[in-house]
Amino acid sequence: MATSSVAHKLDDVPPPAPRPELVGGGPPVRPNMPLLNNARLGVIMMLGAELMFFAGLIGAFLVFRLSAQVWPPPFQPRLPLGVTGVNTVILLFSALTVHWAVGAARVGQTAVLVRQLGFTAALGALFLAIQGYEWARMIHFGLTTSSSVYGGLFYTLIGAHGVHVIGGLIWLAVVYWQARRGRFSKKDFVGVQTTRMYWTFVVALWPVLYGLVYLY
């Protein structure tokens, strides 16, 4: 390095040689070899933001829950603990299938990958269908967004999670379609990994919401 006592003149310093791929026009420069590739890092950021979004909603829930003398408030329908408990198990199982999908992608077993992605999506859809059925019943019994803050919180928190499950199903559908067309290989399965990250987040969030909204 520059330890010489003589001061240099900048103009004397030779310019570096032109980068060959840019002389004829090429892709943008990506000089660094990162520890975690862009896609996975980007999804981590997104999940961080999602976490803060749910933290906001959960914080609001706790403000009402902690200051309430009686919870759920009187004359409001009780939530279906048993059915939702079974539903929780269904959703938790889908975290395993998406995990197995990544395992299959890692060793290049496309058929298994496609099957496991299909299972995951099917379990997610089943979870959503049961939720929808329970919502219809609860509205029938008189729990609505305007029946009480309790109802409003229930539909906002559980609904926000439901929207994320729908988003996950769309994501899974895209990746399922890509996998069937042979988009992923042993070397390149980042798309499956990011799917697992997002789906695991959606699944892991559920027991927290179940515990707070249904059981607490």
Partner 1 sequence: MSESAVAHGAHGQHAKPSFISHYIFSLDHKMIGRQFLFVGLLMLMIGGILAMLVRWQLAWPESPVPGLGFISEPYIYPGPNGGGIIPPQTYNALFTMHATIMIFFVVMPIMVGTFGNFLIPLMIGAGDMAFPKLNMLSFWVGAISGVVMLSSFFVPGGPAAGGWTGYATLSAKAQYTGVEWGQHLWIIALMLNGVSSLMGAINYITTVVNMRAPGMGYFRMPLTVWSLFITAILLLLALPVLTAALAMLLFDRMAGTSFFLPEGGGEPLLWQHMFWFFGHPEVYILVLPAMGITSDLLSTFSRKPIFGYHAMAFSMIAIAGLSWIVWGHHMFISGMNPLLGTAFMMTTMVIAVPSAIKVFNWLGTLWGGSIRLTVPMLFALGFVSNFLIGGLSGIFMASTPVDIFIHDTYFIVAHFHYVVAGIIFALFAAVYYWFPKMFYRNMNQTLGKVHFVLTYIFFNGAFFPMHFLGVGGHMRRIYNPLQYEFITPMHDWNIFITWSALILGASQLFFLGNFFWSLFAGKKAEQNPWQANTLEWSAPTPAPHGNFLTTPTVYRGPYEYSSPEVTEDWLPQDKDIGASTAAKAH
Rounded-to-integer distance, Cα 201 and Cα 209, Å? 12
The total of other beta-carbon atoms located within 10 Å of residue 133's CB is 13
Question: Which of 28, 74, 82, 182 is close enough to bind partner 1 by CB under 8 A?
Answer: 28
Cβ atoms of 94 and 127 closer than 8 Å: yes
The total of other beta-carbon atoms located within 10 Å of residue 80's CB is 17
Q: How many residues at the interface with partner 1, by CB under 8 A?
A: 60
CB of 48 to partner 1, least distance (A): 6
Q: 77 or 103, CB closer to partner 1?
A: 77
Q: 103 or 191, CB closer to partner 1?
A: 191
Cβ atoms of 164 and 200 closer than 8 Å: no
CB of 12 to partner 1, least distance (A): 6
Per CB under 8 A, the segment of 36-44, 107-115, 174-182, 203-211 that binds partner 1 is: 36-44
Quick check: 24 binds partner 1 (CB under 8 A)? yes
CA-derived radius of gyration, the chain: 25
Cβ atoms of 165 and 124 closer than 8 Å: yes
In the region spanning residues 44 to 63, those forming contacts with partner 1, defined by CB under 8 A, are 45-46, 48-57, 59-60, 63
Q: 93 or 171, CB closer to partner 1?
A: 171
Cα angle 179, 183, 187; round to 5: 110
Q: Report the candidate in 9, 47, 94 with the shortest Cα–Cα distance to residue 197.
A: 47
Quick check: 144 binds partner 1 (CB under 8 A)? yes
Rounded-to-integer distance, Cα 39 and Cα 87, Å? 31
Q: 57 or 112, CB closer to partner 1?
A: 57
Binding site for partner 1 (CB under 8 A): 1-2, 4, 7-10, 12-19, 21-22, 24-32, 34, 36-38, 41-42, 45-46, 48-57, 59-60, 63-64, 73, 144-146, 148-149, 151-153, 155-156, 160
